[in-house]
Amino acid sequence: MSEYTYPILFGLIIGTATRMYMLRTDYRQYPTYLHGKIIHVALGFIAAGLGTVAIPSIMEEDFTAITFLTLAASQFREVRNMERNTLTELDSYEMVPRGKTYIEGIAIAFESRNYLVIFTSLVSTLIYLLINVWAALIAAIICVLIAKVLMSGGRLKDIVEIEYVEPRFDGPGLYVDNIYIMNIGLPQRQEEVLRYGMGFILKPKNFNSRSTIANLGQRQAILHDVSTALGVYRDSGTPALVPLAKRDLDDGRVGVFVLPQEKDIKRAIKIIGAVPTLENAIRMPSERHVEGEGK
């Protein structure tokens, strides 16, 4: 046993524990239970190992050893590819697909969480070697808290107001409030749609959120999440029964039409509010400073 054994062991455990803490399977059931999780815990362990051994290498003045961190970068980029490919393959068999933007968001999260693990392991091993195990423990807790803040993105309820509106027909046209959704010709389909359908109006709170909810990927994510949580009245071969979200071009409001199996307005509003704002959908038009402004 060398003087580095305990610090390395400590870094490994902390790193792997951080990955497990960030690996929560919720209503979305992703990563899938057991095997999907094992893959990510194993990768988290590797990431923890890479982060941990970096510090002893520096202390032994073995600077070239740091280059293997580049290996880590390419390794975890592969994680993103893996997640993207799996989810894209599965998406074609979903009743209501996640959409590419959502998938990309999930894949990015998986990659970045491994880097957070490397960072946590690196910092806690460093503190262990510089001070002692208790200081390292405190540093690890702070790192985990930082990781928690970094990994939890915004929710839709922060940027929009959600209001329930009964969908209605005007001739064959289906409307949510004044937003046109689609044309449904058959009377029996119209009856089904009115019986099971629910309409919601998402009113953007500011100009930035107007662009964010206009993103097609963000809208698909809303439809997917609502359909996952409340079920969906739909089957293959019934393309008329499709949840859709359309936009009011005048004021940027989005009309969401869903066909849940369980018609619970309060829960549906809560679920829409809890939909993550996808980082690839976020736009900040108000942050744009026109060149030459203020001169």
Partner 1 sequence: MVLEKYILAAITTNSSKIPGGTAVFYCDSKQEMETIAANLEAILDGIAHMLTEELYVIVKH
Residues near partner 1 (CB under 8 A) = 171-172, 182-189, 236-237, 239-240
Smallest distance, partner 1 to C-beta of residue 277, A = 28
**Residue 103: count of CB within 10 angstroms of its CB:** 23
Q: Which is nearer to partner 1, 171 or 294 (CB)?
A: 171
Nearer to partner 1, 65 or 240 (CB): 240
CA distance 86 to 189: 34
For 267-287, the DSSP string reads HHHHHHHTSBPPTTT---GGG
Q: For residues 151 and 182, which CB has a smaller minimum distance to partner 1 in the complex?
A: 182
Closer residue to partner 1 (CB): 96 or 129: 96
Smallest gap from Cβ 187 to partner 1, in A, equals 7
The Cα-based distances of 279 to 15, 147, 235, 266 in angstroms read 25, 17, 31, 26
If the CB atoms of residues 17 and 240 are measured against partner 1, the closer one turns out to be 240
- Written as one string, the DSSP assignment of 8-41 is HHHHHHHHHHHHHHH----TT--SPTTHHHHHHH
Least distance to partner 1, CB of residue 226, Å? 20
Pair 14, 55: CB distance under 8 Å = no
Instruction: Compute the least distance from the CB of residue 233 to partner 1, in Å.
Output: 15
When the beta carbons of 137 and 242 are compared against partner 1, the nearer one is: 242
Question: Distance between CA atoms of 37 and 39, rounded to whole angstroms?
Answer: 5
Q: For partner 1, which is the closer residue by CB, 105 or 243?
A: 243
Count CB neighbours of 32 within 10 A. Answer: 12
Smallest gap from Cβ 93 to partner 1, in A, equals 16
Question: On the CB side of 17, how many CA atoms lie within 13 Å of its CA?
Answer: 15
- Is there a contact between 103 and 30 (Cβ–Cβ < 8 Å)? no
Distance (Å, whole) CA 190 – CA 120 = 55
Q: Would you say 193 or 272 has its CB closer to partner 1?
A: 193
Q: Least CB distance from residue 247 to partner 1, whole Å? A: 18
Euclidean distance between CA atoms 43 and 23, whole angstroms? 12
CA distances (Å), 31 to each of 69, 125, 263, 281, in order?
Answer: 26, 29, 28, 22
Residue 183 C-beta: closest distance to partner 1, Å: 4
Cα 155 to the chain's mean position, in Å? 10
